[in-house]
A and B are shown apart, each in its own frame.
Chain A
Amino acid sequence: MRLTWRSLELRMLLPLLVLVPLGFVLTHIAEVEKLDPGPLGLAIGYVAIMLGAHVVLTLSGHRGDQLLLPLVGTIGGIGLIMLNRLPQDLAGTSALGLSLGMAQTQLLWFGISVVAMLVVAIGLRDDGILRHYKYTWAAGGAALLAITFLFGTELYGARLWLNIGPVQFQPGEFIKIVLVIFIAGYLAENRALLSGASLRIGPVSVPPLPYLLPMLAIFVIVMLIVVVSKDLGTALLYFGIFLTMLFVATGRRSYVLIGLLLFVAGSFVAYELFNHVRLRVDVWLNPFADPSGAGYQTVHAIYAFGRGGLFGEGLGQGLLPGVGGNFPAIQTDFIFAAAAEELGLVGAFALLSLALLLVFRGLRIAMLAHDDFSAMLAVGLTISLGLQTLIIVAGNAKLIPLTGVTFPFVSYGGSSLLASFLVIGLLLSISHRSALSSGAGA
């Protein structure tokens, strides 16, 4: 196999050598108020992981997309700077004889996740294992979901955690990927049907039955998630992924519209029936009604945005992490608000733009894919990252009710990180295969 220099990837990764340590230095100076760069081990370790991944991809002759890794590396770098700057006892690991702080744990997960990404990117030579066993994948996902429903632990009012020995993990993150694989396989297989005529009932054109049934099934599952696990964000995410993939496969806006109407109707019913849903929505509509109670997090996130202004309070100088001692869920749900306070609108916009570019890159991989399954898979995976970012950022900024999804590559959490890097691994593998088959280097 011919060795291709992944020079673009390397060129875009090199600035991280300055960016991440600079962020660490800034936060440290702000904290100790002395001209002292502070420990840079984590920053260097992080950049080393990213460069190491580049070297492995190059050596393996990988011809996949060269911008994915640098984009993810930059976004994750900002995330690590923020996590390193928060109180380190917010989370961490003290198992297997190790006692790690929050940023150290996150770096460990970065390492594990990048390895997993490389295994998928290089090892997945053939997508048959995904394509042909889609029902097996779906069954596995459903089983995981059921287990979470039954044995999951509740945190912040949502049941989405499973304890396996010392490791606590969030199955929702992985079910998301399985869901995408299943839908991609299903839609790719039945694409012939969808180009056919739709059922017409009076003036309303309804998708043909094979589309209607899985659509309803997924709708039911989504609603189940809302009811049982009380997790609005994940429900919205799953449903959004499904509708988007359906739209890409069929090009019919009416399907999306019907789906959205169903979701709105379902949400309305949920609002009427369930207290936790009603509380979330009421807090969203008027957080200032109870600024020290239910609206506490939202109100203070908004204050943090306001303090940030255009250029930010300065890395390490934000107040949000210290609100009320330790601000709840700052390292997961509110990491974006914390970053926006310290980096300002300018920095927040850059972070959002990076996420958007990542999404565009994923869509480009989908466009260049040579078969429908790969294209649908790439779209679904990309959208899962893009929608999740949109949902959490919009929730932080009070554009939609606040939900507990993570900011991919930024929020603290091993499950989220691992799942997000698996997505990147799959995208790399798809783009590698289309580059091989067209003979065109990407």
Chain B
Amino acid sequence: MTGEVLRILLLVLQLGFLALLYLILFGFARSLLRDLRSAEQTQRASRTGIGRLAVLESPDDEPPAGRAIALGPINSIGRNVNNTIYVEDDFASAQHAMLTFRGRSWFIEDQGSTNGTYVNGHRIERAVALSYGDELMIGRVRMRLER
């Protein structure tokens, strides 16, 4: 093995090392950017100071459990795809409930659903003020209001 061949080999290995390093770096950068985008969504909601709905339980996986849904000031919830928050659940009605931010607090109101709307396990009869951490039940979908 002459010196020249060895030098070329070392050069190739060195460039390979750097190339691999950059592949890894780009991998990190990509995941980071993807997360940043989703973080931005959750953050947009928190910046308006209103809140979000964390999906705790969802048997039919729409919305998927684990997702945090950013909230606007007025949110309709139901099985109809035209709702702000679309709930794919056999026990939910087409127009199930309205979640609105009025003044300084959240209110939820049932829209005449078949199976009713539950807050912390209690079925509601009229518009109810919510606080952060309260659990909502729409059909079989369990969600928590968070800041």
Contact = CB atoms under 8 A, between A and B. Distances in A.
Assess A/B contact in the complex (Cβ within 8 A).
yes
Nearest to A316: B10
A15 B66 contact: no
Contacts of B14: 26, 311-312, 314-315
Interface residues of B, number: 37
**Chain A contact patch, size range:** 35 or more
A19 B28 CA distance: 15
B125 interface: no
A223 B65 CA distance: 52
A74 B28 CA distance: 11
Nearest to B13: A26
Interface string A356-398: 0100110010011010000000000000000000000000000
Given A354-B25, A439-B55, A18 B20 contact: yes
Contacts of A71: 28
Contact of B68 (A18, A25, A439): A439
Given A74-B24, A439-B144, A440-B68, A311 B17 contact: no
A71 B21 CA distance: 11
Given A15-B20, A15-B24, A34-B1, A438 B146 contact: yes
Interface string B26-60: 01110110011001001100000000001110000
Contacts of A368: 39, 42
B24 A25 contact: no
A347 interface: yes
A92 to B, nearest CB: 26
Contacts of A440: 54, 66-68
Interface string A310-353: 01101101000000000000000000000000011011001001
Interface string B119-146: 0000000000000000000000000101
Contacts of A357: 25, 28-29, 32
A52 to B, nearest CB: 20
Contact of A29 (B13, B42, B56): B13
